[in-house]
């Protein structure tokens, strides 16, 4: 992409992103909004927290996405006995050489699926903080950089709360988006059942229909292009006003902080590129606001007792804050 001018770069980037989305959709039936939001996070060089019951294709989605850019994929099953070194790696003594060697953990990858992250205690959850924020891991006092692009996709089950450890606000804030994945529609589920049971034996994940489109270096280039998508000052004001309104909304005990404003702009730029534009419109901000802000807010117990949830409050905020006319 480096030999092209800016307009050609953007045009080429839009085409590549569309092809990646099409290839992922070959393996993942339906869930178009979820696929788009995961791609937005990848383009914005962010991490995602995916909330949904088991069996909705989260692992398949990550594997399919990794295959589109020939990236490495690893999965960690978070359990109560998981140690931080099981995530990051550790130093081990080599009897032959009589010296310590570093054994790198599963975080040294491109796409890391942290499955059921809330089943591990806080110390193991925190093992991801450094790599998510700084893209490096410290083992025995030495810093090791992970490959680019690097993206953590963490999942949690919203139903089973027994034996879980809620993610602290500091960790939640590191996720660019919190995506909610729901059951497929009747048509999607029918197509899914036909696809899985047509020829295959067993329930193994199948990404054979997905073709590689680019290399990891090209994804990094796409991220740079997404970060340079044009945004008007009025759209900046709109995004910041949305976030600031979450802080004094009735019944909200904790609103989104400045990192929420930054995340909203980053996600909006990536959403614009995914939509085929090199500039952000107010609808880009509005459409990604729920996924960007829902995990950065806390409701009062009274509001929850009355049946309200974060998404309802955010929709009310979005209805109140006037979008600029472009």
The DSSP string of 114-137 is EETGGGS-HHHHHTTHHHHHHSEE
Note whether residue 180 is domain-resident. no
Q: Are strands 252-254 and 142-145 parallel, antiparallel or unpaired?
A: unpaired
More confident residue, 41 or 116: 41
> Are β-strands 177-180 and 48-51 bridged in parallel, bridged antiparallel, or unpaired?
parallel
**pLDDT computed for residue 161 by the predictor:** 62
DSSP assignment, residue 296? Answer: G
pTM of the model: 0.89
Q: Are 131 and 146 in contact (CB under 8 A)?
A: yes
pLDDT level of residue 202 (50, 70, 90 thresholds): very low
> Cα–Cα distances in Å, from 56 out to 46, 135, 185, 267?
22, 29, 12, 24
Domain contains 252: yes
Q: What is the pLDDT of residues 261-276, one digit of tens each?
A: 999 999 999 999 999 9
User: What number is the average pLDDT over the span 301-307?
Assistant: 80
Alpha-carbon distance of 150 to 315, in angstroms, equals: 31
Report yes or no on 130 lying in a domain: no
Lowest-confidence region among 32-36, 50-54, 97-101, 159-163: 159-163
What are the CA-CA distances from residue 205 to residues 27, 111, 201 (Å)?
9, 17, 11
Q: Is residue 161, in this structure, part of any structural domain at all?
A: no
Confirm whether 120 is domain-assigned.
Answer: no
Q: Is 326 inside any structural domain?
A: yes
What CATH number is associated with residue 273?
1.10.8.80
Domain hosting residue 266, numbered range = 229-326
* Residue 230: φ, ψ to 5°: -70, 145
Report the pLDDT value the prediction gives residue 102, as an integer from 0 to 100.
80
In a domain, 270, yes or no: yes
**For range 185-202, the mean pLDDT:** 70
Is 276 part of a structural domain of the chain?
Answer: yes
- The number of folded domains in the chain is 1
Tell me which residue of 273, 275, 278, 286 sits closest to 235, measured CA to CA: 286
Cα gap 35→20, rounded to integer Å: 10
């Amino acid at each position: 992409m480096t030999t092209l001018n800016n307009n050609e770069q953007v045009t080429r980037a839009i085409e590549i992103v569309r092809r990646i989305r099409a290839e992922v959709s070959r393996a993942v039936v339906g869930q178009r909004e979820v696929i788009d939001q995961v791609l937005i996070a990848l383009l914005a060089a962010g991490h995602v927290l995916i909330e949904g019951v088991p069996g909705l294709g989260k692992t398949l989605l990550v594997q399919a996405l990794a295959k589109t850019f020939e990236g490495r994929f690893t999965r960690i099953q978070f359990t109560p006995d998981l140690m931080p070194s099981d995530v990051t790696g550790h130093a081990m003594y080599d009897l032959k050489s009589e010296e310590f060697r570093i054994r790198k953990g599963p975080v040294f990858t491109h796409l890391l699926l942290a499955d059921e992250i809330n089943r591990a205690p806080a110390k193991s959850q925190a093992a991801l903080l450094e790599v998510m924020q700084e893209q490096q891991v410290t083992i025995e006092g030495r810093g090791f950089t992970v490959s680019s692009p690097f993206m953590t996709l963490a999942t949690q089950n919203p139903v089973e709360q027994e034996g879980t450890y809620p993610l602290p606000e500091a960790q939640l804030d590191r996720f660019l988006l919190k995506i909610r994945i729901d059951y497929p529609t009747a048509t999607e589920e029918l197509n899914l059942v036909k696809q899985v049971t047509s020829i295959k034996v067993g329930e193994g994940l199948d990404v054979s229909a997905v073709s590689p489109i680019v290399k990891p270096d090209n994804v990094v280039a796409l991220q740079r292009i997404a970060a340079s998508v044009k945004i008007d000052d009025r759209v900046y004001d709109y995004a910041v006003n949305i976030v600031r309104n979450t802080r004094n909304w009735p019944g909200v005990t904790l609103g989104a902080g400045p990192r929420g404003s930054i995340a909203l702009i980053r996600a909006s730029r990536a959403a614009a590129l995914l939509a085929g534009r090199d500039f952000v419109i107010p609808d880009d901000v509005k459409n990604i606001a729920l996924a960007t802000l829902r995990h950065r807010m806390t409701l009062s117990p009274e509001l929850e007792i009355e049946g309200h949830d974060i998404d309802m409050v955010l929709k009310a905020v979005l209805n109140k804050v006037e979008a600029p006319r472009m």
